[in-house]
A and B are shown apart, each in its own frame.
Chain A
């Protein structure tokens, strides 16, 4: 009996583990992710090269956090950070790369 319950419980745990992240994101997880994304976006701002999609992801993160959905909020914040970093890469590489497009 205990063995059966144990197996069922294990199966249930594994099933739920497959459907959810290893550990639900806490508010602190969101705050950390958002701070990183925000800092990256500010850096992109200093380079005068922010993307609208980064801003949208940050806004979605804030909205999800306000609703208490920290899984979603943290995921959006991570996406925002990735986008911000890409825009920083773009601005940095374009400092030289633009010359390739110039009509000579």
Chain B
């Protein structure tokens, strides 16, 4: 119970309820307001790029550069993630050694639910991402967990994203101070400078979307996770959200944390939440 609530309940008990409403709001400046954050986040990018349709932000650099978009649209007729997607569909349908399957671990058999992740797990008191949920499903059924950064994890999340294509991100922050704190931690991570190059996520994706960093065109932070997992030409292969977070860290000369560390889980929670309403477009292809 917060200090304010305790104090006000004491006042009420003393028959001094009228005084309760006269109390100044406790820690109003520190209490995060995710809905207001999300609106401000969206407004910032819409104002910065008035010609880009809201839903188009999920296409990252292609929403920023016409020539890149043309090449990408052509490639989407025969997308490079097609092999991983097919492999993921097959993997998802294959039962574990104990006879159970991934469908048993997820709502709606795991189909069309990607847009609900990450979600806050009240029992654990932490954020659970889709990648984490998949490996937990495996371990709960006697299977070894997969690497978080590529291969099978990328194929599985590619398939699950595909079944949710077009559905808007629907991340919930329940009325639980721990959930609010996880959200706030994710936000703090996003804006904190790190690595010898002293970049924060915001340095590239809030301050410089559409501009170049070496040969790459930077994507806007709004909708940046909607296309995950991605086939990235630079990687000559698929990569998950975990892969992108860890490689972004090392690119700015910061030692990456372990995939699915609390910081990364919270970061994914924040970034997904502020993109609520924008459609899942994964799996995606990027340069």
Contacts and interface: CB of A to CB of B under 8 A. Distances in A.
B255 A52 contact: yes
Given A101-B202, A103-B40, A104-B40, A51 B191 contact: no
A53 interface: yes
Given A99-B191, A102-B187, A52 B206 contact: no
Contacts of A102: 187, 191, 202
A98 B192 contact: yes
B44 to A, nearest CB: 5
B254 A49 contact: yes
Given A103-B44, A104-B40, A53 B191 contact: no
Interface in A2-33: none
Given A50-B254, A51-B253, A52-B254, A101 B206 contact: yes
A39 interface: no
Interface string A74-89: 0000000001001100
B255 A98 contact: no
A83 B255 contact: no
B178 interface: no
**What is the size category of the interface that chain A forms with chain B?**
20 to 34
Given A53-B253, A101-B202, A90 B193 contact: yes
Nearest to A87: B196
A83 B44 contact: no
Interface residues of B, number: 24
Contacts of B257: 48
A99 B207 CA distance: 14
A103 B206 contact: yes
A50 B200 contact: no
A76 B233 CA distance: 36
Interface string A34-75: 000000000000001111111100000000000000000000
A41 to B, nearest CB: 9
Interface of A is mostly: helix
B194 A53 contact: no
Given A90-B198, A101-B202, A51 B254 contact: yes
A104 B202 CA distance: 13
A54 B194 CA distance: 13
Given A50-B254, A51-B255, A52-B254, A98 B191 contact: yes
B194 A94 contact: yes
Nearest to A41: B255
Interface in B217-263: 250, 253-255, 257, 263
Contacts of A51: 195-196, 253-255
Contacts of A94: 192-194
Interface of B: 37, 40-41, 44, 187-188, 191-196, 198, 200, 202-203, 206-207, 250, 253-255, 257, 263
Ranked nearest first, the 9 interchain pairs of A and B with the lowest CB-CB distance are A50-B255, A98-B191, A98-B192, A101-B191, A51-B196, A52-B253, A94-B192, A103-B44, A101-B202
